[in-house]
Amino acid sequence: MQRVVQPEILDTLAATDPVAIANRRDLRLYNRLMGTYRWFEQKVGPSSNESNFLELGAGDGTLGLYLLRRGNLRTTTAYTGLDLISRPMNWPVSWSWLVEDLCHLSYEGIHNVLIANLILHQFSSDELSVLGEKLAASNLSTLLISEPVRKNLHIWQVYLSWLLRVHPVSLHDAKVSIQAGFRNLELAELLGLDEQEWDIHYTETFMGANRLVCRRRS
């Protein structure tokens, strides 16, 4: 399947729109089915005082709050969520939130761990290449990324999720996301991550997650 990047309906809706609320609820369901939260829990581990996290496309904050509940993070951990939508009501006061387009961020800050879940597939090859250059020049030393696998099997799985009363807009966005997803090490290649500079591992799961763990070589 060729990679095709198309707009997602969620990005055209106000955060308070009932359809957006239903879509974010369905995203939580998809993330649970994909084992996303547990995967990040395992990869983040117990965070040290030196860790300074930046989560791209943090949405309603579910992932960060899950890691806080599970004890991977504390309210004293340096954690910044970034999204086009505003700070979630229940986001810890000691954590930061940036309302910003991730393509416009300089990445020159003090963050050393990048978290991205179901967001990077929304960008074209050219945009990912520019982002990758910024990541390479940043202080980030760990990238933990989970994105859709671009495979027909997962489009059929999305059709099946209709049985779980997923909203039609969620079905649309999930299908579009899979068509814009990645195979194997494709995302690392599109970001231009240099294997001399980064230790890069990927996994693909039956439930459609293409995951990257990239650690900067010291």
Listed residue (61, 55, 56) closest to 15, CA to CA: 61
Contacts of 189 (CB under 8 A, 6+ apart): none
CA distances for 144 relative to 54, 89, 126, 153, angstroms: 10, 25, 21, 24
* Residue range at the interface with ligand SAM (CB under 6 A); choices 80-88, 135-143, 164-172, 197-205: 80-88
By the 8 A CB rule, do 211 and 39 touch?
A: yes
From the list 1, 103, 110, 137, which residue makes contact with ligand SAM (rule: CB under 6 A)?
A: 103
Radius of gyration of the chain (CA): 16
Listed residue (15, 12, 10) closest to 30, CA to CA: 10
# binding residues, ligand SAM (CB under 6 A) = 18
Contacts of 205 (CB under 8 A, 6+ apart): 34, 35, 149, 211
Length of the chain in terms of residues written: 218
Binding to ligand SAM, residues 151-210 (CB under 6 A): none
**Site for ligand SAM contains 85 (CB under 6 A):** yes
Query: Pattern of binders to ligand SAM over 5-34, x per CB under 6 A?
Result: ------x---------------x---x---
The least CB distance from residue 189 to ligand SAM, in Å, is: 21
From the list 73, 114, 118, 212, which residue makes contact with ligand SAM (rule: CB under 6 A)?
A: 118
* Residue range at the interface with ligand SAM (CB under 6 A); choices 40-48, 77-85, 155-163, 200-208: 77-85
Binding to ligand SAM, residues 119-148 (CB under 6 A): 119, 122
* Residue range at the interface with ligand SAM (CB under 6 A); choices 65-73, 82-90, 136-144, 162-170: 82-90
Match 């387009």 to its residue by tokens. 101
Q: Which residues bind ligand SAM (CB under 6 A)?
A: 11, 27, 31, 57-59, 62, 82-85, 101-103, 117-119, 122
